[in-house]
Amino acid sequence: METNNLIKTEAYVNGEWVSAGSGKTFDVINPATGELIASVPDMDRDDVRYAIDAANDAWPAYRELTANQRALLLKKWYALILENKEELAILMTKECGKVLQESLGEAEYGASFVEWFAEEAKRTYGDVIPATSNDKRIVVIKQSIGVVAALTPWNFPLAMITRKVAPALAAGSPVVVKPPSETPLTGLAIASLAEKAGFPRGVYNTVTTTDNSGVGKEFCENRKVRKLSFTGSTAVGKILMNQCSSTLKKLSLELGGNAPFIVFEDADIDEAVKGAITSKFRNSGQTCVCVNRFLAHDKIYDEFVQKLSRAVAALNVGNGLDKNIQIGPLISKKGLDKVQLHVKDAVDKGAEIRQGGKPMEGLFFEPTVLANATKEMIIANEEIFGPVAAVFRFNTEEEAIKIANDTECGLASYFYSKDVSRCWRVAEALECGMVGINEGLISTAVAPFGGVKESGIGREGSKYGMDYFMEIKYICFGGIK
Ligand code: SIN
């Protein structure tokens, strides 16, 4: 199957497919092969300002649609994404390197946010509050926030767009999406499906650029943008937050993690290894909720490391479009260099390579297990974003919790134990937004995704997700006789 029907080489602004005002373009490269996939417009701040204006002009009419009308548009978009999921999956694998099976999973995962928020559109209930005197009535309504700008990452080229855009559209807010320069084609492909679904002119816009900082600044400082939603690194999240202060813009941030995965002495080790593979090696270790630090109890440390190493040795590395591949390339040379640096640093400080450990041809890195990891190593504090499992040792539950929480981040945590009391104790003690107990894959549209501490602000998905795209208005109705 080919992806030609869905490959768009223009940006989608105000209901039209357009080039950059300057005529400039940039290339999109397949990280597995180094081949050129296509070139797309390299837009500047003026182009983006025009898209924001178009979205803002479309807002009054769009917010007047009934919730049911907006839900129907989202349902059509949902159906179109699913109808095209195989093509979308191939495109994602070509752009970001994730293996085809995972890309197919992402198409379904991404679509599930659209379905979920189509349903939630009809449930944005307000409140009636008992008034303080008989001549008054107090009512609370929820209204769409206005133009939403979405800055999305390359590791989930589809799902991170729908997770932001679907609740915005459901709430009555037009959107301007800026997919990353590594993976703009999936973003443009789903924009073309949104066009087919019939969203009114100007409601759905997608701009492409390599000028991340300039366009980011425009999103932050433009008063017509009422809400910015970003998924990416903590460092960039801090810059955006700073820039948003000039307009006091509402902000949702899904930032970096440093997820611990604790294996207690009472855990089912085989299950823990299965969970470890899922959670560490998804998208070649390039997700914010991927495990960064395995903590294994001293009593089961050797068994866990041995079984994990055996499972990791069985992972096949290659082009994600080929059969029976579990690990694709890293997204860039910079990503590969970082993985190499973390491994070298760990080994220099006493870690033992039990599996893998070396770069391969191109942007590939051997799936790796490092034993005897310690807190002095870079990997203890920084997200590696690659297929490397570093295993730390602990002796008590208190010590495990202390190590797990000893980070500025607090996105996801995982642990394996068969002791029910311990499960409650540890889940409550972990400083993070999401916990997987005896489970390595926790992402779903129905549950709130987000972090504490420097992992971000806000939650995406779930019944909580809509609130971040709506404003609450209190209405006091007086003079009632
Ligand atoms: C992310 O890595 O940012 C998202 C991961 C997910 O949704 O599971």
pLDDT in tens, 207-253: 999 999 999 999 999 999 999 999 999 999 999 999 999 999 999 99
> 265 and 239, same structural domain?
no
How many structural domains does the chain have? 2
Residue 2 belongs to some domain of the structure:
no
β-bridge mates for residue 393, sequence order: 296
Residues with CB under 6 A from ligand 1: 155-156, 231, 254, 287-289, 443, 449
pLDDT in tens, 162-206: 999 999 999 999 999 999 999 999 999 999 999 999 999 999 999
Residue 462 belongs to some domain of the structure:
yes
Between CA 392 and CA 312 the distance in angstroms is 17
CATH number at residue 218: 3.40.605.10
Which residue out of 288, 385, 434, 460 has the highest number of ligand 1 atoms within 8 Å of its CB and is therefore the one to mutate? 288
> 267 and 242, same structural domain?
no
> 463 and 388, same structural domain?
no
Residue 450 belongs to some domain of the structure:
no
DSSP string, 159-202: HHHHHHHHHHHHHT--EEEE--TTSHHHHHHHHHHHHHHTPPTT
> 398 and 296, same structural domain?
yes
> 297 and 218, same structural domain?
no
Which residue out of 151, 155, 284, 411 has the highest number of ligand 1 atoms within 8 Å of its CB and is therefore the one to mutate? 155
* Residue 63 tokens, joined: 């917010």
Residue 1 belongs to some domain of the structure:
no
* Residue 433 tokens, joined: 């937004």
Distance 287 CA to ligand 1 centre (A): 5
pLDDT value, residue 5 = 83
Closest CA to 330 of 411, 388, 381: 388
Please give the positions annotated as active site: 254, 288
> 333 and 246, same structural domain?
no
Closest CA to 305 of 226, 238, 393, 236: 393
pTM > 0.95: yes or no: yes
Residue 159 belongs to some domain of the structure:
yes
Residue 177 belongs to some domain of the structure:
yes
Backbone angles phi, psi at 389, to 5 degrees: -105, 115
pLDDT value, residue 214 = 97
Instruction: Identify the domain containing residue 16 by its residue range.
Output: 11-255+455-475
Residue 449 belongs to some domain of the structure:
no
Distance 156 CA to ligand 1 centre (A): 7
> 50 and 119, same structural domain?
yes
Residue 6 belongs to some domain of the structure:
no
Contact 241, 219 (CB under 8 A): no
Helix-then-strand count for the chain, H and E = 14, 22
CATH number at residue 329: 3.40.309.10
Cα dist. 308→223, 269, 274, 288, 328 in Å? 51, 9, 8, 21, 19
Residue closest by Cα to atom 3 of ligand 1: 288
Closest atom, ligand 1, to C-alpha of 283: 2
> 216 and 86, same structural domain?
yes
Q: Which residues of the chain have pLDDT under 70?
A: 1-4
pLDDT value, residue 283 = 98
> 155 and 225, same structural domain?
yes
Distance 341 CA to ligand 1 centre (A): 24
> 248 and 286, same structural domain?
no
> 207 and 73, same structural domain?
yes
> 150 and 65, same structural domain?
yes
Contact 256, 233 (CB under 8 A): yes
